[in-house]
Amino acid sequence: MSKITPEHLARQAVVYIRQSTPDQVANNLESKRRQYGLADRARQLGWNDVAVIDDDLGRSGGGVARPGFEKLLAAICEGRVGAVVSIEASRLARNGRDWHTLLEFCGLVGTLIVDEDGVYDARHPNDRLLLGMKGTMSEMELSVLRQRSLESIRSVAVATTGGIGTHQALEHGGPPCWKAANNRPNYVASTSLIGLSPPSTAHLHNIILIAT
């Protein structure tokens, strides 16, 4: 039995698109292409009215406001959305709080969640369990990436200070130390994964305080 009913199809399908950093927007073109292509998937499933929300491209990393996500929640609460479509369901939110808020809203108004793997109804216990597991696993993976990145930053700070004290590091650090750190592929790769920008001297100060 299909979870998609005429009631769902009478409302709008909303494709929510996000990439966490401007670097991902510029360089991960395949992900962007696949996400915009989800509009065709929604039409194949029966929706005629399909909208795309891409306000959060390059701005959905930690600590950045997400007007697109807020717009999505508002549309769901108004009962205008029959389905939320994303490339992977857990990518709809960046943390557990946002994820469970979205699930609650979808469950209350009967909005489906659709990704490349399937169609989920947050009102059904089994679907709710599966969606909860997807969100938990996604949050855990992000936490591991952040922890590894912080360890990489700490290692760079130790290597570039040469074991000298904090005040001496500040006196002799600054841009030269950052330049050395920025040339390390592991550091650059790890920071880009979590949307970090090259630190200022003040940021480098904090890194050195951790390392010494």
Task: Say if pTM beats, i.e. exceeds, 0.75.
Answer: no
Between residues 61 and 80, the one the model is more confident about:
80
Q: How many residues does the chain have?
A: 212
Catalytic site residue 155? no
Kindly compute the dihedral angle of the four CA atoms of residues 207, 151, 61, 73, in this order, to the nearest 10 degrees.
Answer: -120
Average pLDDT in the chain: 74
Rounded-to-integer distance, Cα 109 and Cα 117, Å: 22
Query: Tell me: domain 6-123, CATH 3.40.50.1390, correct?
Result: yes
Q: Where are the domains of the chain?
A: 6-123, 143-211
Of 20, 90, 138, 190, the catalytic one is: 20
pLDDT at residue 25, rounded to an integer: 74
pLDDT in tens, 89-113: 877 776 778 888 899 999 999 999 9
